[in-house]
Structure 1
Amino acid sequence: MKFGIVFFPTVGGADGEATPTQYYDDGLHIAELADELGYFQVKLVEHYFFDYGGYSPDPTTFLAAVAARTSRLRIATGAVIPAFTHAVKLSGQLAMLDNISGGRLDVGFGRAFLPEEFAAFGIPLDESRARFEEGVEACVRLWTEDNLKWNGTFHQFGPVTMLPKPAQQPHPPVFVASTGNLDSCRTAGEQGRHLQLIASAATREKVQEALSIYRRARADAGHASGTERIDLTFPCFVDEDRAAAYLQGEYVERKMSEKMASAVSAWTTVKSDQYPGYDQMAAAAVRNGAAFDERVTENQVLAGTPDDVRGQLGEIAEWYGDDIAVGLSVHSGHLPRADVERGLRLFAERIAPAFAGGR
């Protein structure tokens, strides 16, 4: 089991909240510490307009700064959205980032799910899956082929040869980001992609079903066993004092739920058959924000003393496999940097060594 860190801003610069400059500065210092402590990866999302993720409209920009200030840490998009960026532009950005980082890039691609984002880019929600699949394939082929002529449904170009090619050959590891949609997991497995799951957003049974479908689809498609990479994300709050860890976690998770509920509120009036059940997202976010203790008990949130969190991770390894990577969501912008760094040190020194692969 390996451990990385995840940055997901849920601040918008309101009174008392971190400004963008403060958020990025804290994030860069946290990434430097993670590199020093031996964490294996830092991951950043792509979102627009809302306090929910809106400080990260271009994760490649921030990750380039992380790459310049670290030497071992893998940098990951979690995820970039092909529907919102032409494949020629996106593949070029990511190839540059892979070279700047010396071949440390993991590329997570996602479909996106906020109606206002699609509206701003002039993209119909009902095209999200098709645009995602076409965009991912086009990026991979631009990385690996010369004189590519592309005749897609949404874009046509070429013949062109992308420069630079990625540092990693034939291309950086490609992940599909999902909240647990079973069709997405099945397709990712069939195509031999890796998988990013927000495990905190689903029950144990749903995560297990998603992973089972993904692993079975990979095997049935003939992809070699043991070559897959699975990243699961969990919020994490560690302190020597359990009450202090819970106080941090309850505050951050409540803020997260408030910001998410606002961002997804459009789903109460917007409908798309590609997003079944999304009309319930705002209510689910509010419930999650009010059920912190329950979510800790269900291992959807990691919180408590080092002994507590070590025990939670032991159960997670039993549930999902000990070959997974765990992304610790630690930088929302709502906690002082000193608190985040203290938790990362405690985790690295008192928790990670108990697991094979450690950090």
Structure 2
Amino acid sequence: MKVHLTNLLQNYGNRVTDQEIYRDHLHISELADQYDYESVGCVEHHFDPGYSMCPDNTMFLSYLAARTSRIKLATTAVILPWNDPLRVIEKISLLDTLSNGRVIFGIGRGLARREFETFGIEMGTSRERFDEAAEMVLRGLEEGYAENDGQFYQQKRASIHPAPMSTFKGRTMGVAMSPDSAVAVGKLGIAMMAFIQGPMREMHMPMIEQYRQAHRETFGTEAPAPKLIDLTYCHRDADEARRVAEEVVANYYMTCVEHYEFGGKHFESTSGYASYAAAKEAIDTMGLDAVVDTYVNAQIWGTPEQMIEKYKERREIVGEFDPIMVFQYGGLTGKQALESFELFSNEVLPELRKL
């Protein structure tokens, strides 16, 4: 089992300066290299520091490329509809050169209406934009030039320099939080990545199976192991671990409700997002408190021993998978997050590697 770390760069409640949040995240990210995590990553988000604030994860990772020596650098999600595909190819190739081939390229489609609207992009076109851009970018990274004649992206042939160092096959992944995204990622032949939202068997396994089936039908081989992202908190005292997790994980989920407008009706009428209407339905049916409780208990947190057992239980359900840890979120930063990271890294990480 390969264990990864990613950064959300969330300034929850704007309690400190944005610069302090970055300092905290960069410190733990550099330590992850010393603990031999497989990769350190960062998501792309804009305009809402209370949710997530990294407008260019390739720039964030280029800093870490110079500050680390072994750890791989993952663009947990470059949101393709928000970016010029040609520039994405150039930035990823440059980052791979700067890091001596340590890049894991992660891509996503985007979900927040506010981000699409601020960029002036019709959210209802995101599925088509993602599919077209993903094929263009992945092709460009293999061939060393960008070229496309599609509905959204017209690009005459352009040579990429610095040229890609080596193939990105086997080191590319895509966020899949809906059935159509799971199928799209499977058809691209890249690893599926998902943020844990609820019960593994009932909520996530159907999409994982759709991903596996799409890959199998397209390539005739078994799909790469999915990568599953949890909000993490590790403490020696089980009661304290629960107390903190119930606070900070709930804090984070409420920022999701606000940022993505999970209580709104726009998903029903936006092409490609009908499955997200289930979030509003769940809130209406179960009540917000019950939905938050489900979300909190779906994450993996606790004492080192509890976390190891939870990962073993998940593997019984999923089969082979790689965990991606999030240590800072929902007001969990600074010394408290660092202590959680160090306890996990010293006592849980070595055991997960053995699985």
CA distance in 2, matches of 1:345, 1:64: 24
1:335 aligns with 2:317: no
- Using the TM superposition, name which of 113-122 and 266-275 deviates more: 266-275
| Residue 292 to residue 248, structure 1, CA distance change in 2 (3 Å) | farther
CA contact under 8 A between 1:2 and 1:357: conserved in structure 2?
no
1:35 aligns with 2:33: yes
Paired AA for residue 257 in structure 1: Y
| Residue 43 to residue 211, structure 1, CA distance change in 2 (3 Å) | same
Question: Partner of 2:152: helix, strand, or coil?
Answer: coil
CA distance in 1, matches of 2:287, 2:36: 35
| Residue 327 to residue 146, structure 1, CA distance change in 2 (3 Å) | closer
Identity over aligned pairs, percent: 26
Question: Partner of 2:197: helix, strand, or coil?
Answer: helix
Question: Partner of 2:327: helix, strand, or coil?
Answer: strand
Match of 1:235 in 2: 231
CA distance in 2, matches of 1:102, 1:240: 38
Higher RCO structure (Cα 8 Å, ≥6 apart): 1
CA contact under 8 A between 2:44 and 2:57: conserved in structure 1?
yes
CA distance in 2, matches of 1:354, 1:9: 28
| Residue 116 to residue 336, structure 1, CA distance change in 2 (3 Å) | closer
Question: Partner of 1:304: helix, strand, or coil?
Answer: coil
Q: Which portions of structure 1, spanning 4 or more consecutive aligned residues, are displaced by more than 6 angstroms?
A: none
| Residue 97 to residue 290, structure 1, CA distance change in 2 (3 Å) | farther
Q: How far does residue 252 in structure 1 lie from its aligned partner after superposition?
A: 1.2
Match runs of 1:24-103 below 5 Å = 24-103=22-101
1:206 to 200, 203, 206: 203
Match of 1:276 in 2: 274
Question: Partner of 1:347: helix, strand, or coil?
Answer: helix
Q: How far does residue 166 in structure 1 lie from its aligned partner after superposition?
A: 2.4
String of CA shifts for 1:20-57, please: whole Å, max 9, x gaps. 21111111110111111121111211111224543111
CA contact under 8 A between 1:67 and 1:75: conserved in structure 2?
yes
- Using the TM superposition, name which of 271-280 and 65-74 deviates more: 271-280
1:184 to 170, 181, 186: 181
Question: Partner of 1:303: helix, strand, or coil?
Answer: coil
| Residue 52 to residue 137, structure 1, CA distance change in 2 (3 Å) | farther
Match of 2:118 in 1: 120
Match of 1:245 in 2: 241
Question: Partner of 1:189: helix, strand, or coil?
Answer: helix
Q: How far does residue 234 in structure 1 lie from its aligned partner after superposition?
A: 0.9
Match of 2:257 in 1: 261
Q: Structure 2: 5+ residue runs without aligned partners?
A: none
Q: How far does residue 73 in structure 1 lie from its aligned partner after superposition?
A: 1.4
CA contact under 8 A between 1:254 and 1:289: conserved in structure 2?
no
Match of 1:6 in 2: 6
Count of residues paired in the alignment = 351
CA distance in 2, matches of 1:115, 1:233: 23
| Residue 3 to residue 124, structure 1, CA distance change in 2 (3 Å) | same
CA contact under 8 A between 1:60 and 1:97: conserved in structure 2?
yes
CA distance in 2, matches of 1:139, 1:320: 30
1:196 aligns with 2:199: no
Match of 1:136 in 2: 134
Match of 1:224 in 2: 221
CA distance in 1, matches of 2:96, 2:86: 16
| Residue 105 to residue 289, structure 1, CA distance change in 2 (3 Å) | farther
CA distance in 1, matches of 2:37, 2:145: 39
Match of 1:326 in 2: 323
Paired AA for residue 5 in structure 1: L
CA distance in 2, matches of 1:163, 1:275: 36
- Using the TM superposition, name which of 256-265 and 75-84 deviates more: 256-265
CA distance in 1, matches of 2:296, 2:42: 23
CA distance in 2, matches of 1:58, 1:129: 21
| Residue 38 to residue 104, structure 1, CA distance change in 2 (3 Å) | same
Q: How far does residue 149 in structure 1 lie from its aligned partner after superposition?
A: 3.6
String of CA shifts for 1:286-344, please: whole Å, max 9, x gaps. 967666665565xx1112111111111110111111x3110111122622422222222
Q: How far does residue 112 in structure 1 lie from its aligned partner after superposition?
A: 0.3
Q: Structure 1: 5+ residue runs without aligned partners?
A: none
Question: Partner of 1:200: helix, strand, or coil?
Answer: coil
Match of 1:303 in 2: 301
1:317 to 306, 315, 318: 315
CA distance in 1, matches of 2:296, 2:225: 25
CA contact under 8 A between 2:74 and 2:103: conserved in structure 1?
yes
| Residue 125 to residue 201, structure 1, CA distance change in 2 (3 Å) | farther
CA distance in 2, matches of 1:148, 1:49: 29
Instruction: Please provide the CA RMSD for this pair.
Output: 2.5
